Homo-oligomer: A and B are copies of this chain.
Amino acid sequence: MVSPKFEKYVNDNLNSFAKEVMKLSAQPSVSARKEGIEECAAMVEKMVRDTGAETKVLRIDAAAPLVYGEIKSTRSKKTIMFYNHYDVQPEEPLELWKSPPFKPEIRDGVIYGRGVSDDKGELVSRLKIVESYLKTEGELPCSVKFCFEGEEESGSVHLGDYVSKYSDLFKADAVVWEYGTVDTKGTPKVTLGVKGMIYVEFVLKSLSQDAHSSYAAVLPSAPWRMVRLLNLLKDENERVLVPGWYDGVMTLAEDELGVLQEMPFDGAGFKKTFGAGNFLGGIGDDQAKKALVQRPTGNIAGIWAGYQGPGGKTVLPKEIHVKMDFRLVPDQDPDDLWKRMRKYLDDNGFADVEMQLESMEPAARTSYKDPFAQAAIQAAEKVYGKKPVVELSSPGTGPLYLFTRRYSMPSADIGVSAEDGGIHAPNENLKLEDLRKGMIWIAETMELFSAA
């Protein structure tokens, strides 16, 4: 159990922890634009070293550096790995930010800035937990490893290579995943998995140059062909039409449905946040809750062709681009689905469409019955004074499978963020009180798991 002096140290130093979060967030590190990555990795390495860890900056050609760290403990034989990332999402649309995304500031006890929550606030919190232990107890409850990568927001395209190349380094008994939240009522959430994803950019070119739109009477149109392609990909019930897409989909067991049932879900609030009149297909809250855990998606994240300015330009665009992310559930195999999609498009007259792979990763899940999951759940109850929400899987994606599959280790998403933290959006934020409590929660989880 976390000691009173540990808690006091965290309380007393919270403002200095916040400053570290702001300092790291002030360094842009947008992996989509490969911007500031080296600078940010150097800052992170120094922070890890200053904590007292042995560090290595791992490198692979054309990849963002991976900052690795390790601190041993004699208090138990267990090792917990902290996975986090120092890269961030693009900051657009800029005009919706109330303060500049890369000049973090505190307003009313809340830090605002790109990355303060996802994932630099989380990353810094892990280091400060270690610092707090070493300053107050002299030792950690278990050995700790840090795996801080710089390409998570670009699909962690090289993390697999890193794990393969340095496979000894990453062995551990459990992994604390990047991100954990409390909801608006202060109830913590333990998330036990992620969906998988295929992110693809489709490019269709029909002409060698843009034409005057009067020639649309005779020339083929890339945008119209793309409309037909998209129409082939999904039906009106949101079902992906690629043959075999749902073949591997695991169904939830009876007891898992029970856990899902217990998970609160404010459907009305969710819809209100996004100004949505209804959920997709008019489904109710229970079905929506299940869909977030278990429904594969096919989302148009971006589409563009031709003229986007004011007024009317009469142009027949030579090409069109569509970015799509397909979320996957256990046990859909992205490699297999990628090939099936290619074949499906080939078979339906779209052999000429380019499929540019941005990223690809399968889903991963830990059973809620696993001892590490149970440690996180019990620690939450202790620290927050109430049962946490247990989420079988996040609707989001991460490269969790790289660790959970290779080392057969359990994982849990626990952390310092909040549901309304504005991740991937303007005015991303982190509350100081959530930072404080989340740090104690993670420490308590370490204690329980190490003692087990």
Contacts and interface: CB of A to CB of B under 8 A. Distances in A.
B327 A31 contact: no
Nearest to A118: B212
B155 A312 contact: yes
Contacts of A315: 301-302, 424
Contact of A274 (B211, B283, B299, B307): B211
Contact of A327 (B210, B214, B275, B308): B214
Nearest to A212: B424
Nearest to A300: B223
Contacts of A299: 213, 216, 221, 314, 316
A302 B313 CA distance: 8
Given A274-B219, A323-B306, A209 B425 contact: yes
Interface string A297-321: 1111111111111111111111011
Interface stretch (A68-76, A109-117, A225-233): A225-233
Nearest to A277: B220
A317 B384 CA distance: 35
Nearest to A207: B274
A293 to B, nearest CB: 8
A298 B213 CA distance: 9
Contacts of A279: 218-220
A309 B224 contact: no
A372 to B, nearest CB: 24
A433 to B, nearest CB: 24
A395 B208 contact: no
Nearest to A293: B217
B300 A220 contact: no
Interface residues of A, number: 89
A396 interface: yes
Interface in A110-133: none
A312 B310 CA distance: 27
Interface string A278-298: 111001000010011001011
Interface in A236-271: 236, 238, 270
Contacts of A270: 218
A437 interface: no
Given A207-B275, A207-B276, A314-B325, A217 B301 contact: no
18 contacts: A31-B311, A32-B310, A90-B309, A93-B210, A208-B275, A214-B394, A217-B295, A217-B297, A218-B280, A218-B283, A220-B277, A220-B280, A223-B303, A224-B300, A274-B318, A301-B316, A304-B304, A313-B424
Interface of A: 31-33, 89-90, 92-93, 153-155, 195, 197, 199, 201, 206-221, 223-224, 227-228, 230-231, 234, 236, 238, 270, 273-280, 283, 288, 291-292, 295, 297-318, 320-321, 323, 325, 327, 358-359, 394-397, 423-425
